[in-house]
Amino acid sequence: MACIQDQSTPETDVERSASPITSKNKHHESDKPNAPAEDILALQDLDPGMDKKMHLVNNALDEIGWTNYHWKLFFLSGFGFSVDALQLSLQGIISVQAVLEFQPSYPKGLTIALYTGMLVGALFWGLFADIIGRKTAFNTSLLICSVFTVAAGAAPTWASLGFFVAAAAFGAGGNLILDTAVFLEHLPSSKQWTVSWLSAWWGVGCTIAGLVAWGYM
């Protein structure tokens, strides 16, 4: 009966002793929270060309970092955010006095007009901005909001007031979603958390509306 002996050498002994440690380390590395995760926004399977373009632009933004241009964009987007907040505040301020002046049969009409306009504006400008460009959509929606807000202040009837409020909200609803989009797409990955700073401008808009209204009380 032949006896098969395990021939071992120093090299094989090292490999055998290292193999369980290596497999154990690999198992623990996959469980670490800091292990590299798969990019959920990667498009290498769907559109490899677009995926390379996205990484090229993102890498360029990371190399540029935070500049004075980003401060200007922060204030620009912040002013737009303030206008959106001002629209909501104005509706709450003028609605009671407008009902007393026009005596409408449906006193909640301004609230419906405001939120309907914002809903339609958000859907319209969210899709249309990708066609004409976010810069043009941002400026146009803000212009529409400003013009019809001024016109609403001179509305002679309840119906015209509701129309102007809805038209102004149509611009504000589109501008609301474009503020963060325009700011975010220019940020380096390490500074994307600054988007949360835009929420501070919401209080600025409400404060301006309250101070102006207080002057007429």
User: Can you give the pLDDT at residue 119?
Assistant: 94
pLDDT in the model for residue 44: 60
Pick the closest to residue 94 from 151, 142, 161 (CA basis): 161
Q: How confident is the prediction along the chain (217 residues), in pLDDT tens digits per residue?
A: 444 444 545 444 444 444 444 444 444 444 444 444 455 556 566 667 766 777 777 788 788 888 898 899 899 999 989 988 998 888 888 888 899 999 998 888 999 999 999 999 999 998 888 888 888 999 999 999 999 999 998 999 999 999 999 999 999 999 888 888 888 888 888 888 888 888 889 999 999 988 888 887 7
Tokens 């959106």 sit at which residue? 84
Q: Taking a C-beta distance cutoff of 8 angstroms, is the pair 67, 123 a contact?
A: no
What is the model's pLDDT at position 45?
63
- Ranges of each domain in the chain: 70-216
d(CA 170, CA 123): 10
The pLDDT of residue 144 is 95
Gyration radius from the chain CA atoms? 29
Supply the pLDDT for residue 149. 93
Going by C-alpha positions, the residue among 206, 213, 132, 210 that lies closest to residue 174 is 132
Q: Are 190 and 167 in contact (CB under 8 A)?
A: no
> Please, are residues 170 and 121 in contact by the beta-carbon 8 Å criterion?
yes
For position 29, what pLDDT does the model report?
A: 42
Distance from C-alpha of 32 to C-alpha of 155, rounded to nearest angstrom: 63
Confidence (pLDDT) at 18 = 42
pTM over 0.75, yes/no: no
pLDDT confidence of residue 168: 95
Q: Which residue has the tokens 């094989």?
A: 12
CA angle (137 as vertex; 208, 66 as ends), nearest 5: 75
Give the pLDDT of residue 28.
44
What does the pLDDT read at residue 142? Answer: 92
